[in-house]
Structure 1
Amino acid sequence: MLPTITPDKIDLPAGTILKFPGTLADYEHLLKQLGDRSIPRIRFRDNHILLMSPLPEHANEIDIISDLIKALLRYQEKDWQSFHPITLRYGKKPGLEPDACFYIDNYQAILGKRKLDMSIDPPPDLAIEIDVTSFTDIEDYIALAIPEVWIYKTNELHIYHFTENHYIETNNSFIFPDFSVKDIVPHYVDRAWQVGSSVALREFNDHLQTVF
């Protein structure tokens, strides 16, 4: 199946990445054309437009990682509001589409909002990217100043903290300081592939009850 991009239709086979020159106006037009569709993903970088259609592997991994985060938040008795995926924009600047994001400390500030504008709304506390067919540049997130960004790639979790207008990679999470998420996440993502997501999540919940 070949990619299809017309004024009325955008259709990309799973795993496809298209990169072509474009302007911010072109990006705006494509955003409007896509509307609320979550696929394909779109990004504007260095006067180029990237369109990405994730593989099933991508969807499975973001689901289990999101479920693990929710389990940890429940264990910590914290409330949250999550989105995946969502386009985050600062005014008219090009947006980003993390695979998932979580409002935790600021979750009450965005309750009931159907669309978010980073020029007036607080950024998420956590954004997550799954790199299977695509490549996430952490520098793209500087404009949004999201406090913590996770990038999961080739069975490894990379954790980035925003500080002094740049991101630094670290081994620990500010959000879950009592948990080794850098080890937990890859282990249970792998378990999900082996035994299924629901079984892996039950194992993780059992682990929380017996260890902590």
Structure 2
Amino acid sequence: MLPTITPDKIDLPAGTRLQFPGTIADYEQLLERLGDRAIPRLRFRDNHILLMSPLPEHGKEIDVIVDLVKALLRHQDRDWDSFHPITLRYGKEPGLEPDACFYIENYQAILGKRKLDMSIDPPPDLAIEIDVTSFTRIEDYISLAIPEVWIYKANELHIYRFTDNSYVETDTSLIFLDFSVKEIVTQYVDRAWQVGSSVALREFSQTLQSRENK
């Protein structure tokens, strides 16, 4: 099946990546045409438009990681709000589409909001990207100043912390200081492929409960 991009239709087979020259106006038009569609993913970078249609692997892995983050937050008795996927934009800057984002410290500031504007609303505390066929570049996140960004790629979690107007890779998460997040995420994503997402999540919840009872 070949990609189809016409004034009336945008259809990309799973796993397809397209890059072609374009302007910010072209990006705006495509963004408007896509509306609330989560697929294909859209990004504007270096005067090029990038389109990506995720593989099933992409969806499974983000689902597992989001469930793990929620389990950790519940374990810590913390409130949150989450969105996935979502387009985040600061003013007229090109938008970004993390696979998931979490508001934790500032979750009350966005309660009830159907749309977010990063020039008005606070950024999420955490954004998560799965790189299977996508095109994540951590520098793209600088304009949004999201405190922590996770990129899961090639069976490894990369954690980036925003500091001094740039992102620095680190081995620890400021959101979950008491947990080895890099190890946990890698272990349970792999486990989900072996036994299924629900079983892996149940095992993880049992591990958290055992830790609490010690």
> Could you say whether these structures have the same fold, taking a TM-score greater than 0.5 normalized by the shorter chain as the test?
yes
In the alignment, residue 98 of structure 1 is paired with which amino acid?
Answer: P
Match of residue 65 from structure 2: 65
Deviations 1:46-81 (A, max 9, x none): 000000000000000000000000000000000000
Match of residue 107 from structure 1: 107
**Distance in 2 (alpha carbons) for counterparts of 1:154 and 1:211:** 29
SS of equivalent to 2:71: helix
SS of equivalent to 1:19: strand
**Distance in 2 (alpha carbons) for counterparts of 1:134 and 1:58:** 9
**Distance in 2 (alpha carbons) for counterparts of 1:8 and 1:80:** 38
Residue identity (%): 82
In the alignment, residue 191 of structure 2 is paired with which amino acid?
Answer: R
Match of residue 145 from structure 1: 145
**Distance in 1 (alpha carbons) for counterparts of 2:13 and 2:57:** 14
Match of residue 56 from structure 2: 56
**Distance in 2 (alpha carbons) for counterparts of 1:87 and 1:160:** 20
**Distance in 2 (alpha carbons) for counterparts of 1:125 and 1:51:** 26
TM-score with structure 2 setting the length: 0.98
Unpaired runs of 5+ residues, structure 2, are none
Deviations 1:109-133 (A, max 9, x none): 0011011000000000000000001
Match of residue 77 from structure 2: 77
SS of equivalent to 1:133: coil
**Distance in 2 (alpha carbons) for counterparts of 1:49 and 1:81:** 30
In the alignment, residue 15 of structure 1 is paired with which amino acid?
Answer: G
**Distance in 1 (alpha carbons) for counterparts of 2:136 and 2:40:** 16
In the alignment, residue 30 of structure 2 is paired with which amino acid?
Answer: L
Match of residue 200 from structure 1: 200
How far is 1:135 from its partner?
A: 2.7
**Distance in 1 (alpha carbons) for counterparts of 2:14 and 2:109:** 35
Match of residue 130 from structure 1: 130
Matched, 1:92 2:106: no
**Distance in 1 (alpha carbons) for counterparts of 2:3 and 2:135:** 20
TM-score with structure 1 setting the length: 0.99
How far is 1:211 from its partner?
A: 2.3
Match of residue 34 from structure 2: 34
SS of equivalent to 2:150: strand
**Distance in 1 (alpha carbons) for counterparts of 2:6 and 2:21:** 16
RMSD over aligned Cα, in angstroms? 0.5
How far is 1:134 from its partner?
A: 1.8
In the alignment, residue 69 of structure 1 is paired with which amino acid?
Answer: V
How far is 1:136 from its partner?
A: 1.1
SS of equivalent to 1:93: coil
SS of equivalent to 1:91: coil
SS of equivalent to 1:201: helix
SS of equivalent to 2:188: helix
* Runs of 4+ in structure 1 over 6 Å off: none
**Distance in 2 (alpha carbons) for counterparts of 1:135 and 1:151:** 11
Unpaired runs of 5+ residues, structure 1, are none
Match of residue 15 from structure 2: 15
Deviations 1:16-75 (A, max 9, x none): 000000000000000000000000000000000000000000000000000000000000
**Distance in 2 (alpha carbons) for counterparts of 1:150 and 1:163:** 15
Instruction: Count matched residues.
Output: 212
